[in-house]
Structure 1
Amino acid sequence: MSWFGFGYSGFEQLEHGVKLSADLPEPVRLPGNGPAEAKHIIKPVPSWSYSAILIADGSLLLNGFISGSPPKDLMLNDLGCVEVFPTEKYLLVQLKDQLQCWDTKTLSTEGSQAEPMWKMDLPPGHNLSFPLVANGYIIPKPPFLMEFPSKVCAHKLALGNEHAVLLTSNWTVLTWGAGRHGQLGHDELEDVLEPRIVDALNGVGMKEIAAGGWHSASISEGGDIYCWGWNESGQLGLPCRTLTLERGNSGKSHTANEMGDTFEFISIQAFPALIDLPKETEACKISCGSRHTAAVTCSGELYSWGWGKYGQLGHGDTHSQDQPLLVKYFSDNNLFVNDVICRNWNTYVFCLGS
């Protein structure tokens, strides 16, 4: 069982001092670089300039540029950490019975001696999926705690740059926040202040959700992928004019596939669109970065699409893609993909052996 990372590494969060990006998956290891150390990683979560690696004993390793400081490995031992949400200004962690937040500038200067700037106790038996809490959710900036305006039976919550996507306990999708890129899926570009059902998905049971910079995605109980929002880099898996021009095609308002089918270019998709994977493969996990998307299939394959400038798609190049493309590295190495985490310009993938 191993984690692999690829994408932006300009702050040495993937490959210390070697290159700007990693366009092929590379194993994630703790200091020491031995295979035994890698087995203790629960999951890595990237911010832009550093990554937070959650370790099985509840410790947390931060590597990269933390608040603009020179690259370092900062180990926060014996936290009892069970979840982590790193951002450039703040580091949010969930312990068994408490939420804590550190200012990253303080962490960069005081290291493991730094004290949290904010704490919130969790009730006994708390079992909600982070960042959900009773009657609300946590955001990575003050005031940190946000309450739902009305009673919502929340199951999962995904946070984008300016919007939120929520999956209820009866598998309905709600969204709210900024809507100017269509990321709310309400067939309009208006902002929405309170959680609102995505009508186009109502009645279709959903099991997974994801939120990128300005796009959103979900997976139905039947394994179908739906995407909506901004498609500037092909992150929705829909025809993108920018990528067509980069490939040297004409600037027409449409494109055609090998079968001769014609498609209109999409810049903003304001309601959910069904995205097909090759061979009618069923998806089970999905995650969104700033402008890219990755999905895990039930058969253990990884597909990725969208912006690829820093190798975050994992195809061995820096090309962008406006349709799902198999990441061959894992199947070529007999690795069964079990999970994927995309954030900003990076992707982390959890694999089992064949």
Structure 2
Amino acid sequence: AMAAPACLWLVFGFSPEEAAGEPGPGPDPWRLEAGPEGISRVWPAWSYVVVETGERPRPARSPAPVPPAGQRGPWPALPSETHLVLRGAAAVGAWRREAALGAALQGEPAWSRPLPPEPPWRRPLPLLPGGFATPRPPFFTALPAGVRARRLVLGTEHALALGAAGEVFSWGGGRHGQLGHGQLEAELQPRLVEALAGVPMQAVAAGGWHSASLSEAGDLYMWGWNESGQLALPSKALAEERAQDEDTGTGSTKLMPCQEQLAAQDAAFISIQAFPALLDLPQDLEVSAVSCGSRHTAVVTRGGELYTWGWGKYGQLGHGNNISSDQARRVEHLVAEGLRVEEVVCGPWTTYVRVREP
């Protein structure tokens, strides 16, 4: 019998070498090394990534942390630059990063919370019984009794919850329109995104200051900050950069608008989209997964292709350069290699892609 195609994780963008002040690996993706046991999930932070291998996660390129005595089973993670939150079978705890990146979890966690033994809590972090965890203090926040969330994601200043019936709630900071309520004010409690009411959603994603929601039909809605084109809507800042490149002879004149065109298009530029906007992908492609970085966005289509857009300074868009884009573009490197994309996870300045080899 023929062996099944192998899965591997590829990475575009900010590298561990760059985090250490060394030259990065270049524009091509590199493999996330996992050893013989393979990687099932990844959770990126700014300068490191936690990977799940076997029974527990570990920081990549570092020895595996040993869970506290008496706790076994899967260990979903939630990292930040200061803490690593791990959920075990009986409790959830947060360790300081320097303790979590060693050969073992040193000492007591900075914060912990017991979990009820029954029924088993299988929803992904950051959801917890009665509320949700964050990778920064105070670590736990209660949810209102009327909010039944089955998925929750955290941006830099805001949160999105996917309700049991496919509705979307948002709260937190709103100064960049990332809450989707048509205004730029903060919300202290989860509030229904009314513009999406009646459209059942299957997934939500939160970037630094932008948001995305994926309908059950495969349609993608986006809202929030568009400074780097992360909404795939016309960005004035990127248009001005393209025009400057054209003036200096470093850009492609085929794609660069002239100054007169910029002035005529000024009214069409969008810096903040305070209501959800339906995204028109090339060829009416249907989306199966979405993830948001600090200022970029990536989606997987139902055909197994990867499209990215937004901020590209570190090559996180996967197009072999460091050019930002306000248009959804297919990552041709994966197509050329015959790789089918199965999952995408955006870190702040990176894009982690799980692919299946032919």
Taking structure 2 as the reference length, the TM-score comes to 0.87
Identity %: 43
Q: Is the 8 A contact 1:45 1:51 kept in 2?
A: yes
Q: Aligned partners of 1:322 and 1:340: how far apart in 2?
A: 19
Say whether residues 1:88 and 2:81 are aligned partners: yes
**2:194 aligned with 1:196, yes or no?**
no
Counterpart of 2:158 (choices 152, 155, 163) is 163
d(CA) in 2 for partners of 1:20 and 1:250? 34
Contact 1:223/1:282, CA 8 A, preserved across alignment: yes
Alignment of 1:188-337 (within 5 A): 188-248=183-243, 249-250=257-258, 252-253=262-263, 255=265, 264-337=268-341
User: What's 2:48 paired with?
Assistant: 50
Assess, with a 3 A threshold, how the Cα gap between structure 1 residues 320 and 172 changes in structure 2: closer, same or farther: same
Could you tell me which residue of structure 1 aligns to residue 32 of structure 2? 28
- Is the counterpart of residue 182 in structure 1 residue 177 in structure 2? yes
Within 1, Cα distance between the matches of 2:81 and 2:17?
12
Residue 29 of structure 2: SS of its match in structure 1? strand
TM-score by length of 1: 0.87
Note the C-alpha offset of 1:150: 3.1
Q: Aligned to 1:266, what secondary structure does the other structure show?
A: coil
Unaligned runs of 5+ in 1: 31-36, 64-72, 256-261
Secondary structure (helix, strand or coil) at the match of 1:330 reads: helix
Alignment correspondent of 1:128 = 123
Pick from 1, 11, 14 the counterpart of residue 5 of structure 1. Answer: 11
Q: Do the aligned partners of residues 59 and 166 (structure 1) sit closer, same or farther apart at CA in structure 2, a change above 3 Å counting?
A: closer
For residue 348 of structure 1, what is the aligned residue in structure 2?
352
Cα 1:324/1:38, change in 2 over 3 Å: farther
The answer on whether the counterparts of 1:8 and 1:21 sit within 8 Å (CA) in structure 2 is no
Correspondence for 2:93: 100
Counterpart of 2:251? none
Change (3 A) 1:155 1:307: same
Cα distance between partner residues in 2 of 1:208 and 1:147: 22
Closer/same/farther in 2, CA of residues 26 and 253 from structure 1, 3 Å limit: same
Partners of 2:357 and 2:17 lie apart in 1 by 30
- 1:11 and 1:100 mapped to 2: Cα distance? 29
Would you say the 8 A contact 1:135–1:152 is kept in 2?
no
Q: Which residue is 1:68 aligned to? A: none
- Deviations along 1:135-193, one digit per CA (max 9) or x if unpaired, are 21111122211101332111110100000011001000010000000000000001111
State the alpha-carbon separation in 1 of the partners of residues 325 and 163 from structure 2.
31
Higher strand share: 1
Q: Aligned partners of 1:21, 1:220: CA distance in 2, in Å?
A: 36
For 2:105 and 2:205, the matched residues in 1 are separated by 35
Question: What displacement does 1:263 show?
Answer: 7.4
SS of the equivalent of 2:237 reads helix
1:130 is displaced (CA, Å) by 1.4
What is the DSSP-based 3-state SS (H/G/I as helix, E as strand, rest coil) of the residue aligned with 1:99? Answer: strand
- Does the aligned pair in 1 maintain the 2:229–2:325 contact within 8 Å? yes
Is the 2:57–2:77 contact (alpha carbons within 8 Å) kept by the matching residues of 1?
A: no
The structure-2 alpha-carbon separation of the partners of 1:162 and 1:29, relative to structure 1 and needing over 3 Å to count, comes to same
Cα offset, 1:253, TM superposition: 4.7
Structure 2 alignment gaps of length 5 or more: 1-6, 244-256
Computed over aligned residues only, the root mean square deviation of the Cα atoms, in angstroms, reads 2.1
1:76 matched to 2:65: yes
The residue aligned with 2:23 is: 19
- Paired residues for 1:59-74 under 5 Å: 59-63=57-61, 73-74=62-63
Hey, what's the Cα distance between the residues in 2 that align with 1:294 and 1:263? 27
Between the aligned partners of 2:132 and 2:192, the Cα distance in structure 1 is: 18
Q: 1:114 aligns with which of 97, 103, 106?
A: 106
- Judged with a 3 Å threshold, the aligned counterparts in structure 2 of structure 1 residues 274 and 353 are, in CA distance, closer, same or farther, namely same
Name the CA shift for 1:343/1:9 in 2 (closer, same or farther; >3 Å): same
Deviation per CA, 1:36-79, whole angstroms, max 9, x where unpaired? x265211222211222122123141344xxxxxxxxx2421466
Q: SS of the counterpart of 1:294? A: strand
1:129 Cα deviation after fit: 2.2
8 Å Cα contact 1:341-1:348 kept in structure 2? yes
| Cα 1:234–1:59 shift into 2, 3 Å | closer
Whether the 8 Å contact between 2:296 and 2:308 is mirrored in structure 1 is: yes
Give the drift of 1:341: 0.5
Structure 1 window deviating more from structure 2 (81-90 vs 300-309): it is 81-90
Counterpart of 2:59, as a letter, is: L
CA distance in 2, matches of 1:21, 1:160: 28
Q: Which moved more, 1:225-234 or 1:119-128?
A: 119-128
CA 1:196–1:254 in 2, change beyond 3 Å: closer, same or farther?
A: farther
- Whether contact under 8 Å (2:48, 2:59) holds in the other structure is no
Q: CA deviation at 1:3?
A: 0.7
CA contact (8 A) 2:66 2:105 kept: no
